[in-house]
């Protein structure tokens, strides 16, 4: 079965620590492929943590 590809909407405590954290523990089922976050530092943290292409890192 193919992995479910996920886009993180908001990289604050809910998006980064909760949802992305849970998804990263199930790497056999999920893959985080993008992020939408207006705060540059938070968006960059997700990009670096989950090795997301900058092409899929959006401000809005």
Q: What is the pLDDT of residue 5?
A: 92
Q: What is the pLDDT of residue 48?
A: 93
Q: What is the pLDDT of residue 40?
A: 95
pLDDT tens for residues 2-57?
Answer: 888 988 888 877 777 677 778 778 888 888 899 999 999 999 999 999 899 999 99
Domain of residue 26 covers 4-58
CA distance 11 to 4: 19
Q: What is the pLDDT of residue 59?
A: 95
How many domains does the chain fold into?
Answer: 1
CA distance 22 to 15: 10
CA distance 55 to 12: 20
């Amino acid at each position: 079965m193919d992995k479910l590809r996920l886009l993180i909407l908001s990289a604050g405590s809910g998006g980064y620590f909760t949802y992305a954290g849970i998804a990263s523990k199930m790497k056999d089922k999920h893959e985080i492929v993008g992020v939408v976050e207006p705060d540059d530092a938070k968006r960059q943290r997700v990009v670096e943590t989950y090795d997301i292409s900058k092409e899929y890192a959006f401000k809005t």
